[in-house]
Amino acid sequence: MGKEDIHINDDLLIEQEFNNLISDYLKTNHRRKVDIITKAFLLAKEAHKGARRRSGEPYILHPIAVARIVCGEIGLGSTSICAALLHDVVEDTEYTVEDLRVLFGDKIAQIVDGLTKISSGMFGENVSAQAENFRKLLLTMSDDIRVILVKIADRLHNMRTLGSMAPAKQYKIAGETMYIYAPLAHRLGLFAIKTELEELSFKWENPEVYNEIALKLQASHSARTNVYEHFARPVVDKLNELGFKYEIRAREKSIYSIWNKMQAKGVPFEEIYDIFAVRIIFENGPGVDEKKRCWDIYSVITDIYKLRPDRIRDWVSRPKSNGYQALHLTVMGPDGQWIEIQIRSRRMDDIAEKGFAAHWKYKEGKIEEDTELDKWLKTIKEILESPSPNAMDFLDTIKLNLFSQEIFVFTPKGEIRTLAQGATALDFAYDVHSDIGDHCIGAKVNHKLVPLSEKLNSGDQVEILTSKTQRPKSEWLTLVTTAKARTKIEYALRRSRRETSKRGEEIITNGFAEAGIEFTPDVLVKMIDYYQKTTKDDLFFAIGNHDIILPQKIEKLLALKKQGQDNLLLRYMKQAFHVVKRPEKEKVSKPEDSEPINPKKTYILEEDSFSKNFRMPSCCNPIPGDKVFGYLTDNNEVEVHSIHCPVGLKLKASQGDRIVNLEWGSYTQFPFMSTIIVTGIDRMGMLNDITKVITAGSLNIKEMNIETNDGVFEGRIVVYVHDVNDLQTLCSRIAKIKGVKAVNRKQS
């Protein structure tokens, strides 16, 4: 096929995809602004002319695909569709934001500008040094939420086409998606997109596990269908009899959420029973109360099946902060299985699938004031006012807000406040006002005096007790769970430390001035060494805090030279001793003794790798056979992390240019530590039988702890193995012991 034929085929494909976009747009209830969308498409097509994606397809197909997600899956209008079509134009071509402003107006230019900042800032190559860019992203997002909605659509399409990327790039993008984009989508109410982002991240990082669960789901599908049909038949009959207009269906959990539950409970696939939930979506006629209709359907179901009272979730009366509304209940089905049911109106379902922001905030002709989403964005802005100086700490702080589930508590005057689940009395104090938090000494929950660490529950009435003499303490950071409180406490502590350091500096400079002696940098260095401080700020703080009491005769400080050197020698000796005591697995050579690591190369982890510059951190303890990746440190060392490691997830999200492809080689000598959890029915000789099986496999036990409670035991066994096969063989042998019910590897 000649070049001309390829161009003709490309043009036909591009035209077809653009027509599909226009078709999607005309099906929505947005105003018909086809002209401006066509204008944006023609400019983007010309700007990206000749450019191709890594997969080989014309580049313009990517912006069109993003625009289709923005339109069809999120439900946004022409402004966002144009921004999606133009989102890479400023970054990749000669066009500027000013050009777009002249051609398309302020709004579209502002959104494209925000998207360009995200690409080159927060998610560029050097994120750990770019906290400021992340703040810009969030500030842009809080000015116009459409920026992040288009960016999420862009990420979703990238995840759908990730196969053409190199493995290290796949790890970076998948890790970043799981760490930032999936929680953002969840917080914005984009549940379908959040689920797909998690699913695709999991699929690319764990293809073997993903396929294994997918096959098991497929094999057990007919059994689940039977359970659903037995449950649904009497419900359908009754709802039809009462004249409800509705849709009922079974919705299966995603593979990622099933795997997550398997890990959390330490059970195999066969012991996950709530794989599907039943969803009832009703059409609500004019003048009918949605809330009442939800409870009418609830009544129909509970007349037929026995309710599990502790599993009722009323998100209809009080929606989640991302706009989600539904009534959840769990009943005992006819086949002896607990079945979860979600009841919601068509409007509630639209919000759940397409997102609170898109459905309300930018619905044509209607802007809701003071929505729950606006309150959340206001909280984000408050965090931005006094961010942590460390970029990754700052990212973690924001994530606290992204992941939070809500509880509702009351002030003494009856005002409702929304807090994250697990919030304490101190969190509540800071939620009311930072001054109240800073001076908080205790709280009354439901008129009973409680400590600051008291965890709150929905419905609690909370009164905060304050004192003017109270000041934030560093231990308070362990008493709070919300991002807002943590940020305010850190800010107060930094301010307090600066004031104390300044006081300490004044004490020492005044002392020298009164003695008529010059306070030189040389004297300062000697004092830092003598008092074993790291920086001058540490020294000034210790003096201001009265941890160090200076001598009455200040000239004594000039005679510190010998003592300072002795102290330095002692510290060097301690450091040397520490190096000698390092565990065998973490021995590494000096960087100059080893060849530089190339992030684009795949490295094989052989027997002698760890005598070079590879090392095993203690966060996840991977063993040969586990899927792993490497992280290149500043010292040209490579940390080996499991693909599931939470520390590794953060590294993939933030340090993508330092991710290294690793594969295991052969291992025979070098043992690795792993933990297994054994549960079962206790009996005489059980411990002896387990020990025999382990020693029969020529494996060494490092630690063993077994607890028995009312005839049931749980054991935690730490063993040394050579690879995953050793571990799987051991687990299958222990599982055959009489009385053992489950054996699972404990993931770090």
Distance between CA 703 and CA 719 in Å, rounded? Answer: 7
Closest CA to 729 of 643, 625, 622, 606: 625
CB neighbour list of residue 43: distance below 8 Å, 6 or more residues apart: 86, 89, 95, 103
Minimal CA–CA distance to 737: which of 694, 705, 699?
Answer: 694
CA dist 160 and 665 (Å) reads 31
Dihedral of CA 611/612/615/621: which sign?
negative
**Cβ contact 258:279 at 8 Å:** no
Spatial contact of 404 and 482, defined as CB atoms under 8 Å apart: yes
- CA-nearest of 77, 58, 57, 59 to 67 is 77
User: Which residues on adjacent β-strands are paired with residue 662?
Assistant: 603
Q: Determine the Cα–Cα distance for residues 561 and 538; give it in Å rounded to an integer.
A: 20
The pairs formed by 491-495 with CB atoms below 8 angstroms and a separation of 24 or more are 491/386, 492/434, 492/438
The DSSP element (H or E) to which 631 belongs, if any, is strand 628-632
357, 141 Cβ separation under 8 angstroms? no
Distances (CA, A) of 150 to 47, 75, 118, 622: 19, 11, 11, 37
Nearest-angstrom CA–CA distance, 509 and 554: 10
Closest CA to 127 of 179, 87, 164, 186: 179
Question: What DSSP letter does each residue of 261-276 carry, written as one string?
Answer: HHHHHT--GGG----E
Single out the catalytic residue among 10, 57, 92, 537: 92
CA-to-CA dists, residue 591 to 587, 651, 661, angstroms: 12, 21, 19
Quick one: which of 400, 384, 391, 397 has its CA closest to 126?
Answer: 391
Q: Compute the C-alpha angle 227/228/229, nearest 5°.
A: 95
473: left (phi > 0), else alpha (psi -120 to 50), else beta? Answer: beta
- Residues 642 and 605: beta-carbon distance below 8 Å: no
Name the β-bridge partners of 721: 672
Q: What tokens does 265 get?
A: 């409970």
Sign of the alpha-carbon dihedral angle for 321, 322, 327, 332? negative
R_g of the chain computed on alpha carbons: 30
CA angle (594 as vertex; 588, 599 as ends), nearest 5:
95
Q: Count the residues in the chain.
A: 748
DSSP letters spanning 463-505? EEEE-TT----GGGGGT--SHHHHHHHHHHHHHHHHHHHHHHH
Candidates 153, 186, 142; CA nearest to 76 is 153
d(CA 564, CA 523) in angstroms, rounded, equals 11
Distance separating the N- and C-terminal Cα atoms of the chain = 54
> Residue type at 433?
H
**Residue 91 is among the residues annotated as catalytic for this protein:** yes
10 Å Cβ neighbour count for 169?
18
* CA nearest to 479, candidates 453, 455, 449, 444: 453
Exactly one of 91, 537, 606, 714 is catalytic; name it: 91
Query: Which residues are known to be catalytic?
Result: 91-92
